[in-house]
A = this chain, B = another copy of it.
Amino acid sequence: MVKIQPRILSGFMELAPAEQIKFNQIMDIIKSTYEEFGFTPLDTPALELSEVLLAKAGGETEKQIYRFMRGDTDISMRFDLTVPLARYVVMNQNTLTFPFKRYQIGKVYRGERAQKGRFREFYQADIDVIGMDKLDISYDAEMPAIIYNVFKKLGLSKFVINISNRKLLKGLMESLGLADKSAEVLRIVDKIAKIGKDKVVEELVNIGLDKKSIDTIIRFIEIDGEDKKVFESLQSFGINNEIFTEGISELTEVINSLAALGVPKNNYKINLTITRGLDYYTGTIYETMLDDYPQFGSICSGGRYDDLAGFYTDKKLPGVGISIGLTRLFASLLENDLIKPTVATPAHVMVVPITNAEKEYALSLGADLRALGIKVLTFTEDNKFKAKLNYANKVGVPFVAIIGEDEVKNRTAVIKDMATGEQQTLPLEDVSMFLINKIMEAVKGKILQS
């Protein structure tokens, strides 16, 4: 028989067991945090009608889409979780309760040019709160609290959630009589971290801005310091058009709520240089940076938008949301040794009979331990004892319960701690409590190494 060489498509992540276990732990933390804030799960199909999915798309995005015909049906794979959300909300607007708080963690597909750190299939972990006609600004404050809780629980402490509000720069531009240049200026300012201040000034000159306007814009994006000082600086511009005033008022409420929500001062910052690339953000915006790994870029971004689903409905559906690019984040953590995958089994203990004569006793002990929630691998291959322990070592199971002739006779088990090599014989009735205590200790450990 001719053999086919097994291989996968390039740009698709596939993990080793120990890596996958770490990946799932991170995903579980994100999921449970989203649920702690009352977000409800959603799971939309990976395939959509192209006409529906691409109602708004265009340009680069559209080129990256996996799109194909099946019979007469023009089908596309989802490239994000936002468009399917918009479709879902409009389809189900009469049965959903607003504000609708949903989370979705799922794979999306983009046939990008293959390059390091970019994936063609990757997980996004999104939350959004969608209002019908209106949505209170306090939901904008909840987002940094969720970001803070996720990354704190992951064991990362040195990160900053950068917060701004697009209405501020927009209001500033209006006050300079440059409202029509807002989009261009946002795009240029967005690059300041990458290209530096001088280049930004150069580009602003190139689009025809005068020196005074450029000075004002630079003075604006250079505002820095404690929250109170930032607001004083903003007031010093003496702008009182409606959009700027709204921006100040929204940002004030967001920042004031963060203390109540338990977000420490060193984990957020008002940063007026962030603007987010996407057109559809209209108010609060977020970008999250790791202090020691700026090269990761923003590991969690998002913002407020006025109109989720204008391409499907006339109803106004304002929302606010954030997204974690989980696959990319995981790859970066792995590459920087912030995760060390060592354990290739979820099991807490491996029960192993020394010979086949103890197999039934071992299976029975396994069942008893599982009934108490302990995760148990039973190793029942008829190998040499050394090979059995070797298996335990390779998969990284922390404890082994060894069952020989004596253990069956005395109704005991020999418990071996694989990290220290220590062994002790315990009566059967003490085995579960011993393991449960050990598991509780281990749970206190952190997922990340930092």
A interface with B by C-beta (< 8 Å):
1, 3-9, 12-17, 20-21, 23-24, 35-49, 51-52, 55, 66, 68-70, 73, 75, 86-88, 90-92, 95-97, 99, 101-102, 107, 109, 111, 121, 131, 134-136, 138-139, 141-142, 145, 149, 256-257, 260-262, 309-314, 344-347, 350, 359-361, 363-364, 366-368, 370-371, 373-378, 380-382, 391, 394-395, 397
Q: Are B8 and A45 in contact (CB under 8 A)?
A: yes
Pull 30 A–B residue pairs with CB atoms less than 8 Å apart, ordered by A. Answer: A1-B311, A3-B311, A4-B55, A4-B311, A5-B52, A5-B312, A6-B313, A7-B49, A7-B52, A7-B87, A8-B91, A9-B48, A12-B47, A14-B88, A20-B42, A21-B41, A36-B370, A37-B376, A38-B345, A40-B344, A47-B109, A97-B391, A97-B395, A101-B377, A131-B381, A135-B381, A257-B359, A257-B360, A260-B363, A261-B364
Chain B residues contacting A359 (CB-CB under 8 Å) are: 138, 257
Most buried by B among A37, A256, A376: A37
Point out the residues of chain B lying under 8 angstroms from A45, CB to CB. Answer: 8-9, 12-14, 121
Q: How many copies does the complex hold?
A: 2
Residues of B within 8 A of A1 (CB): 310-311
CA distance A62 to B40 in the complex (A): 37
Q: In this complex, what residue of B is CB-closest to A139?
A: B380
Chain B residues in 8 Å Cβ range of A363: 138, 141, 257, 260-261
A96 to B262, CA, bound (A): 44
Instruction: Flag if A49 contacts B9 (CB, 8 Å).
Output: yes
Q: Which of chain B's residues have a CB closer than 8 A to the CB of A42?
A: 17, 20
B38 and A377 form a contact (CB under 8 A): yes
The winner among A96, A373, A378 for most chain B CB atoms within 10 A is A378
**Residue among A16, A261, A363, A368 with max Cβ neighbours from chain B (10 Å):** A363
Q: Which of B20, B43, B46, B394 interacts with A40 by CB under 8 Å?
A: B20
Q: How far is the CA of A359 from the CA of B139 in the complex (A)?
A: 12
Which of A8, A42, A86, A312 is most buried by chain B, counting CB atoms within 10 A of its CB? A8
Given A20-B41, A38-B375, A375-B36, check contact A4 B350 (CB 8 Å): no
Q: Which single member of B20, B102, B360, B375 contacts A256 (CB below 8 Å)? A: B360
- Assess whether A370 is in contact with B111, with CB atoms less than 8 Å apart: no
The chain B residue sitting closest to A361, CB to CB, is B260
**Given the complex, which residues of B lie within 8 Å of A49, measured CB to CB?**
7-9
Among A37, A47, A70, A139, chain B packs the most CB atoms within 10 A around the CB of A47
